[in-house]
Amino acid sequence: MAHWHHANPWAARVIYIADLEDLVDALFSERSKQTALTHWQQHGPKLDGYLLPQPRGQYEAGIRYGAEPAEYISLYCKQEKLQELALRYRHTGA
Q: Mind listing the pLDDT tens digit of every residue in the chain (94 residues)?
A: 689 999 999 999 999 999 999 999 888 888 899 999 999 999 999 999 999 999 888 999 999 999 999 999 998 778 899 999 999 998 655 4
Cα four-point dihedral sign 20, 26, 58, 77: positive
Which pLDDT score, from 0 to 100, does residue 58 have? 92
Question: Which H helix or E strand runs over 79?
Answer: helix 79-92
Which pLDDT score, from 0 to 100, does residue 92 have? 55
